[in-house]
Amino acid sequence: MQPLAELLRPKSLDDVIGQRHLIANGAPLANLIKNSKLQSMILWGPPGVGKTTLANIIMSSFDCYSIKLSAVFSGVKDIKDALEQAEQNALGLFDKPTVLFVDEIHRFNKAQQDAFLHHLEEGKIILIGATTENPSFEINNALLSRMQVYVLENLSSSDLQLLLTKALNSLAKVKLTSEAGQLLIDLSDGDARRLLNLLELVANSSTDLSEIDAATIAQIVPKNIQRFDKGGEEFYNQISALHKSVRGSNPDAALYWFGRMLSSGAEPLYLGRRLLRMAWEDIGFADTNAVTVVNNALQTYERLGSPEGEIALAGAVIYLAVTNKSNALELAYGRLKEFMQTASSAPVPIHLRNAPTKLMTELGYGREYKYAHDFPHRYVPNEQYFPDDMSPVSFYQPGEQGFEQRIRERLDFLASLDKASR
């Protein structure tokens, strides 16, 4: 028996649930079919949102010779065979255009993707690729420039409700309470195939199909099924969301992203290291305790492990989110790196040089150096610390948050001493 997801796979655009921005009247894919304008394209979106379905519908809407490959199961020989078929067709074998559909196209390496380029350029194939990964990173630029990218979105709760109703109509004996249905929708995470697979799992596992409740589903369905692709785009999107929530001083949102990543399988120590970066990058000297808090949380986790040590990391998330913010340190380092790209190798001023030998002492190394601790306020007004022929450069410009306000006041005071001594 076919899986429920295959039995309910749409055969036309009218049957497709969701993706109205692409398939509604006047939308790009609807117009493509209406105007009989077949083109090479990339269908990009998360799992279970209809990429393969739309590719099949598009191909069936045209009089074409279709070839299907899966990058998961296909190798070099399969690619070669497909392109040879396209070559033969170009010579008049079927007298119709060749459409090559490649599912999970991002799984092909650069050389494998390059194999399609020549045939695409010469019009021997129309290439349709489906991918869950960002084409900007995973598809060769030369290939990508010759293809239109269409972005598919997660299905909404209302979309999934429509699909669930349709699925239950095909499973006449299965009844769900409204709470159970909503739980399945929530667990599906915008993924139609996941919804149908979960429903099928529940139906096959439950002894009483008269009315399945939420408690029954909670017992059957795996607890941790949130979408999380370690090392993929979604992984870095969630890291970005955590970082920006901390930077934006929203502790609840920061905790949400932290908890979501943890529950989906992210490595706690990796998250801790990212928090340490945030402490330096977005807080800096506005709160000199921030780095200490994160380091202590990391040490706590290393000693206790999960789940106890995760509390310490959660505490660090909250602390970073609510404390004073400053990117003055990051900006200072950025200015420094930019400056050093064109800076010359100017010699160290002689009064700042070290004199470990008699010869260096005789040459005057360090002779006119003024020891700051011997002066009022432990400061030598207008002392030269940059190279002789170099004007002073201001890299670090403290902000007005937390401890940096005191740093600013200190630097302003020292500047007044310089001015008074001139």
Range from 55-59, 285-289, 343-347, 365-369 carrying the lowest mean pLDDT: 343-347
Per-residue pLDDT at 352: 92
Mean pLDDT over all residues of the chain? 90
Q: Could you count the other beta carbons within 10 Å of the beta carbon of residue 115?
A: 15
Residue 394 structure tokens: 């201001």
Residue 67 structure tokens: 């070839």
C-alpha–C-alpha distance, residues 304 and 23, integer Å: 52
pLDDT for residue 265 is more than 90: no
Per-residue pLDDT at 336: 94
> Are 222 and 190 contacting, i.e. CB atoms less than 8 angstroms apart?
no
Cis before residue 307, ω within 30 degrees of 0? yes
Average pLDDT over residues 233-255: 91
pLDDT in tens, 14-27: 999 999 999 999 99
| pTM given for the model | 0.66
Question: Which CATH architecture group holds 157-220?
Answer: Orthogonal Bundle (1.10)
pLDDT in tens, 33-67: 999 889 999 999 988 999 999 999 999 999 899 99
C-alpha–C-alpha distance, residues 395 and 125, integer Å: 55
Give domain limits for the chain: 19-151, 157-220, 233-322, 346-421
Choose among 196, 193, 194: nearest CA to 166.
Answer: 196
Average pLDDT over residues 210-235: 71
Choose among 292, 278, 293, 189: nearest CA to 242.
Answer: 278
Task: Give me the residue label for tokens 């194999």.
Answer: 115
* Residue 269: partners with Cβ closer than 8 Å, 6 or more residues away: 298, 301, 302
The DSSP output letter for 176 is B
pLDDT in tens, 127-175: 999 998 889 888 999 999 999 999 999 999 999 999 999 999 888 788 8
User: E strand or H helix at 239, and its extent?
Assistant: helix 233-247
pLDDT for residue 249 is more than 80: yes
Q: What backbone phi and psi angles, to 5 degrees, belong to 116?
A: -80, -20
* Superfamily grouping for domain 19-151: P-loop containing nucleotide triphosphate hydrolases (3.40.50.300)
CATH placement of domain 346-421:
1.10.3710
309 band by pLDDT with thresholds 50, 70 and 90: very high
Domain 233-322 maps to which CATH number in 1.10.565.10, 1.20.272.10, 3.40.50.300, 2.60.40.10?
A: 1.20.272.10
Choose among 194, 143, 187, 189: nearest CA to 167.
Answer: 194
C-alpha–C-alpha distance, residues 38 and 99, integer Å: 9
